[in-house]
Structure 1
Amino acid sequence: MTEHKLDRRQFIHASGGAAVASGLIAPTILAKQLSTQTLKVGLVGCGGRGTGAAYNALMADENVVVSAMADTFPEQMEKSLAQLRKQLPDRVKVDSKHRFVGLDAYRELMQADVDIVILATPPAFRPAHLEAAVEAGKHSFVEITAAIDSPGVRSVLASSELAERKRLAIVSGFCWRYDPSLQAAVEQIRNGAIGEIRSLYATYLRPNLGPKYKGDRKPNMSDVEWQIRDWYHHLWLAGDLTILLSGGHSVDKMSWWMNDEMPINAVAIGGQQNPRWGNTFDNAFVTYEYANGIRGYLASRSINGCYDENGDEVVGTNGIFKFQQRRPVITGETNWRYKGPTRSMHQVELDALIGSIRSGKPINDGKRMARTTLMGILGRMAAYTGKKVSWEAAMQSTQALLPDGLALNSTVTDQPLAMPGTTRFL
């Protein structure tokens, strides 16, 4: 059985600090959570990340089982179920009564006897799913991003506050916060290894991910079914693949370096080179400005045939921190590189979630997750409109991208591709 004994420093690292350091978490919760009683997991969204997170949950603790699943499409659920059963057959106990299908399948799963839900659908649905989970008294693992628009962010903030009052755990899929090498690097930065931060730079330059759905649209597919199956490149489902989904990890790390101080505004450029990929941008450069004058720069691109890089750089008064090829290094007055153990951050984040439930000290990443998501949305707003957009304006935006009254047979027409200088800020 996996041990879950975290000292105070390790636990603050694992939780991003907010849940424990605040002193707001009660020392006890329900007895069944403090024991070794079996914890039941429900999976909402049975794609690759959802299936992977479910596997990580099972590997975190031998007294965890997957007991319910929900997905819009039954064949996707069966594929996920078969994969999990192949890996850990004795720990997957999803009978026919606990396989829920359809856009509203999550509602049925929330009424099932599960302790933890994994929320891994396209992110357009994340705010509603988290709200339902918290209302139903479930702990949650929330894959990125937490929302695709400002109304969604405000919903996630409200759900996170309710979860804190109900002493429910929320662990975010912004997984770099759970990487041991970066936790050690952040400790070095906090202890002054590079001096005062002067600038930040992040890259997420990758090939295009291509269509999510492998195949042509079938004649009987509705707009909604087709777009959900190929959700990467539809604004109302993904919120923007390049700036928000891919770049979301980069801005979360940028926030981490800045001790979760948020920027005051953003200016950006961006566009789309290949019209095959729907109505989202495939390249962008965002400049975030902070209250103290520091600027953070995000370069994000999803185009084939280009130079690829995923890295981070923080320039300080006494040194430079670089994170390239998953190796953190500090040079300057202090020379440091990580020499500790390497672990899968995807596994560590589920270990942390389940360990916090067992210990009676539930992690709540909700507020941080929502604010990082809004930082990505702020960059998208600046890129799409061509305007300088303030944090306050982004937080108060009324633009809701998810269509009202959505059904699987609905007709949904994509919004036109944004045109900087023409597209209005809403």
Structure 2
Amino acid sequence: MTQPITPTPNASAETPPPSRRKFIQHGSVISAGVATTFASPRVLRGSEPAESKPEPIRLGLVGAGGRGSGAINDSLSINDNVKLVAVADLVPQKCENICKSLASRYADKFDVKPSEMHHGLDAYKRVLDNKDVDVVLFATPPGFRAPYVLDAVDAGKHVFAEKPTCVDPAGYRQCLEADKKARANQTAIVTGTQYRRQTNYVEAIKRIHEGEIGDIISGTARYCSNGIWYRQRKKGMSDAEYQLYNWMHFVWLSGDQIAEQAVHNIDTINWIMGGPPESAYGGGGRFTRPDDSEMWDNVAVDYVYPGNRVVSFMCRQIPDTKSDNSNVIYGTKGTCTILGGNSGASIQTRDGKTTWEMSGDIGAAYKQEHKDLIDSIRQGKPIVEFAETAASSLTAVLGRMAAYTGQAVTWDFVANESKLDLVPRDLDIKGPGAARGFAVPGKQELV
């Protein structure tokens, strides 16, 4: 791939490029500044015949693996009048497999011609080049997220971006640029932080913010599980091919487990606290990872939030250990416990009496983020939430940097001073990939 983090030239937030961006509306009016950039859709209004329907919103998928499959299935199942028209992946077989599955399941919402199944490192650019694509769903390895979304915003596309949105400070700054441009262009960016749309999370955090547990004193957050997948290198693979194939285990691609997986809990804590922490200090290590994996298998970080409120965070992937996916917030009047998945949330007084509880439905939350995205486009009020998710992603990076180096690290340093930039500028699929090796505290430099 040639300079993947370079945005499309001659694009600016003030003058978005021509594109097929349609707000499909139902009795509402597009603002004058937005309407001028759209082709004229056929709009269903009261005086029009019933068979006159607005054109469908057309989707493109970039990343046809497990998470990409989940995202596009959620979008197609929850939204009416949408069509998938383009797919891209590094591997052609993945494009073929997902198209075969979707064509049989969503016949009326599937319109991917063979010419719109793209593969290779630059395949995402072919989706962005397609003027018929309104919304692009990005589910590639996280290292590509920030530059790809920035390119999509420059191309005038609406975006769904999986988490995390960045794996280093350089990517974080690209996220902020993309967020700013999307707001100026009035193009949406919704992210895969499904807990922000899970009803028990929303209600629990609303109650915290309304003071039901009193002033927040401290908290704990845990994302501890038994392990994660690992893919053996295939014969004949270059280093670059292997790293992309086994992407979870290379920090430039995944950000390590604290960013790729545990960012959900970190995002929840930032949501509760009203923003990112001021500093982080942590540790961890590796005991069970394969020899060529860069991942640690446990990280523990103390995050200090404004007001000297400390959140003790831990993530772990070690076989035969106890799992724990939880967020516990301690207040002057009580405690709020928010559990991951479908496990629900509750509030207890300081003497242990439960005063509120609510079950969870993570499946509905996964779908709701896609409904909110499409609804916001149709209503002419595009949601842009990239900066918030980028802040949570950088909070994960902050914790990783503190643990990897053994240093106390501040938010100001990672957000404004750090030069860490892990994503290779020129990546040749047959080439060496990124430099490899796992971090050792005291030896790992804070950059």
Distance 2:90 2:445 in 1: 33
Which is greater in Rg?
2
Q: CA deviation at 1:265?
A: 0.5
| Aligned CA distance change for structure 1 residues 340 and 204 (closer, same or farther; 3 Å) | closer
- The 8 Å contact of residues 278 and 411 in structure 2, kept in 1 or not, is answered as yes
Are the counterparts in 2 of residues 34 and 359 from structure 1 also a CA contact under 8 Å? no
Contact 1:51 1:84 in 2 (8 A): no
Identity %: 33
Report matched runs for 1:279-294 at 5 Å.
Answer: 279-294=294-309
Provide closer, same or farther for how the CA distance between residues 374 and 339 of structure 1 changes in structure 2, counting only shifts above 3 A.
closer
1:263 and 2:280 aligned: no
Q: Is the aligned partner of 1:397 residue 2:414? A: no
Q: Relative to structure 1, is the Cα distance of residues 322 and 162 closer, same or farther in structure 2, using a 3 angstrom cutoff?
A: same
Matched length? 397
Q: 1:325-354, CA deviations, whole angstroms, 9 ceiling, x for partnerless residues?
A: 521101117811126987621101001101
Would the alpha carbon gap of residues 175 and 339 (structure 1) be closer, same or farther in structure 2, given more than 3 Å must change?
closer
Superposition deviation, residue 397 in structure 1: 1.1
Q: What amino acid is the match of 2:337?
A: K
Q: 1-side partners of 2:191 and 2:315: how far apart?
A: 22
- Runs of 5+ in structure 2 lacking a partner? 1-29, 44-53
Q: CA RMSD in A?
A: 1.9
Q: What CA distance in whole angstroms lies between the structure 2 residues aligned with 1:414 and 1:271? A: 20
Name the counterpart of 1:246. 261
Residue deviations 1:210-252 (CA, integer Å, cap 9, x gap): 21x3xx4232211111111111111121111x21112111100
Q: Scaled by the length of structure 1, what TM-score is found?
A: 0.89
* Structure (1/2) with the larger helix percentage: 1
Aligned to 1:16: none
Read off the aligned partner of 1:420 and give its amino acid letter.
P
Q: Which residue number in structure 2 is paired with residue 3 of structure 1?
A: none
Give every structure 1 segment of 4 or more consecutive aligned residues whose post-TM-superposition deviation is greater than 4 Å. Answer: 25-28, 31-35, 339-343
Give the structure-2-normalised TM-score: 0.85
1:208 Cα deviation from its structure 2 partner:
1.1
- Picking from 301, 324, 349, the partner of 1:332 is 349
SS of match in other structure, 2:262: helix
Q: Is 1:108 the equivalent of 2:108?
A: no
The match for 1:217 is 233
- How many Å separate the matches in 2 of 1:360 and 1:33? 13
Counterpart for residue 407 of structure 1: 428
Partners of 1:68 and 1:245 lie apart in 2 by: 26
| Matching of residue 377 in structure 1 with residue 397 in structure 2 | yes
In 2, Cα distance between equivalents of 1:296 and 1:380: 15
Alignment of 1:43 onto 2:58: no
Within-5 A mapping of 1:162-177: 162-177=181-196
Aligned equivalent of 1:416:
437
Match of 2:6 in 1: none
Which residue identity is paired with 1:321? C
Q: CA deviation at 1:134?
A: 0.3
Structure 1 residue 399: Cα displacement: 1.2
1:83-162 equivalence runs, <5 A: 83-112=101-130, 113-162=132-181
Note if 1:81 corresponds to 2:99.
Answer: yes
1:235–1:414 contact (8 Å) kept in structure 2: no
Taking a change above 3 Å as real, the CA distance of residues 291 and 188 of structure 1, as seen in their structure-2 partners, is: closer
In structure 1, the residue matched to 2:219 is 200
Q: Matches of residues 230-245 of structure 1 in structure 2 within 5 Å? A: 230-240=246-256, 242-245=257-260
Residue 331 and residue 91 in structure 1: after superposition, are their counterparts in 2 closer, same or farther (change >3 A)?
same
**Partner residue of 1:21?**
none
Q: CA deviation at 1:34?
A: 9.7
Q: Unpaired runs of 5+ in structure 1? A: 1-24
The corresponding residue for 1:321 is: 336
